[in-house]
Structure 1
């Protein structure tokens, strides 16, 4: 399994793989933790509509996650990997929106 990841991500060392996996883990946890104070600030609590909470969670967590990936990746010496990872991810969103726009015309 790790060999496949290393090949897919074009990395060579096991240490680099471990660092990348740690960055993904920390980033996921931090982005969810950051959501809570933002919800408190805007008085979003248990009485708030569940669909609104889900939408706001997506809108808060997604960009937070992207920024944290770059920051933590840079701090741990993996900026190039995470920069390329971000570019791939953003290009996937762009392709889907372009396909949708073409279909609706």
Structure 2
């Protein structure tokens, strides 16, 4: 277990265990918050058990993905980890972009 923690600290450039815990906390709070946003938006849109799955799936991607990205930046800013979060965000979005753009590799 400590090997995984050390690898994360090295990969993310974190110096302390407290810094690592704070970053992991940001990830977890962001995920939970994005799901609350999804729930609120789905209720607002009137989705229910009769809503076709394909519509829910498309709405999920259109709601959860952007809300996660924005909340991740917001929580990173509030908790003093904006530089880490911003760099992580840029790398993640670049990887996603490379899946859809020809000639670009990871």
TM over 0.5: yes
What pairs with 1:32-51 in structure 2 (closer than 5 Å)? Answer: 32-51=35-54
User: Which of 90-99 and 28-37 deviates more?
Assistant: 90-99
What pairs with 1:1-105 in structure 2 (closer than 5 Å)? Answer: 1-99=4-102
TM-score (norm 2): 0.90
Count residues with an aligned counterpart: 100
Q: What is the CA RMSD across the aligned residues, in angstroms? A: 1.0
- Structure with more contact order per residue of length (Cα contacts < 8 Å, sep ≥ 6): 1
Q: Which aligned segments of 4 or more residues in structure 1 are displaced greater than 4 angstroms?
A: none
TM-score (norm 1): 0.90
Structure 2: gaps spanning 5 or more residues: none
Q: Distance in 1 between matches of 2:60 and 2:98?
A: 24
